[in-house]
Amino acid sequence: NKSQSNVSKLVLFVLFFSVKTAVKELTIIATIVLLTFVILWYPWLSSIDSTLRVFHRLFPLGRGVFEDKVGNVWCTLNIFYKLRKSISNHKMAFICFGTTLLTAVPINVHLFFQRSKYTFLLTLFNTACVFFLFSFQVHEKSVLLVALPSFCLIYWWPTEMLFFLKVSVFSMIPLLRKDNLLVPTAALMIIFRFVFKSWAFKTDDITISKSYLKMKIGQVSEILMIATSLAFLLIEPPSRFPDTWPLIISVISCGYILIFLIWGYTRQFM
């Protein structure tokens, strides 16, 4: 009985020490975060009007669900059902919030119970896809938030991630043209393609034969993206529909990213 009592005391001491350490670390982190928040917000805390202006920029509900043509679900749905005319901005914001939350929660709950480096990276990729496809007022450059974890997944899925990176660049073609960045982007893409392939495909004949179908699908998709990009650059759209090519690019990009989200979901739960 005495030994059991000593063990119980030791366990309670260890638990108390662990909880005390955790609370101390959490307090330090919370203090640093709050101080950083106050420092960053200090220039706009002088008046309520300045603070509200910042909030308006952070949550631009007045702009609508999307501004320019972007490769997400809402821009694509707007072709068939005019969201801006039918649903108010505040209602649309709640719809976007609910859709994003419902789509992102399962993969993050799965990560909580199946913690590993691979699952973490795949969850980052899937969550970024969810936010790009379903969030309110998504910018074209937001696809870069999906591209970051895709780089980390190259070790496991080189063919798939290389193709996604091409899709991410393709989705930004109208923006790159607007900012006069098409030439440097094309040059970097060619360099990256050769460097990447020299590293990724040093493999045996069995692996190559297994990925033959994926490579063919990727080649057909690449031809489609190149042809669409050239059409956007060389063919003038009808005067009645000046945004024809950006809209086509956004719809194709949305389709590919949606397929990648489904692919990521299946890989995470398999």
Q: Which residue has the tokens 């709050």?
A: 34
pLDDT in tens, 74-89: 999 988 888 878 888 8
Cβ atoms 147, 129 nearer than 8 A: no
Structure tokens at 250: 């956004």
What pLDDT is recorded for position 258?
A: 95
Q: CB under 8 Å to 167, separation ≥6 — which residues?
A: 225, 253, 256, 257, 260
Report d(CA 227, CA 128) in Å as an integer: 27
pTM for the full model? 0.77
pLDDT of residue 172: 93
Q: Quick one: pLDDT at residue 206? A: 39
Closest CA to 136 of 91, 194, 82: 91
Cα 143-82-106 angle, rounded to 5 deg: 45
Per-residue pLDDT of the chain (270 residues; tens, 9 = 90+): 545 555 565 556 556 666 677 777 788 888 998 999 888 888 888 788 888 888 777 777 777 778 788 889 999 998 888 887 888 888 888 999 999 999 999 999 999 888 899 999 999 999 999 999 999 888 888 899 999 999 899 888 888 888 899 999 999 999 999 999 999 988 988 888 777 766 655 544 434 445 667 777 878 888 999 999 999 999 998 888 888 999 999 999 999 999 999 999 999 988
Q: What is the pLDDT of residue 251?
A: 94
The pLDDT value given to residue 12: 62
> Phi-psi bin for 235: left (phi > 0), alpha (psi -120 to 50), beta?
beta
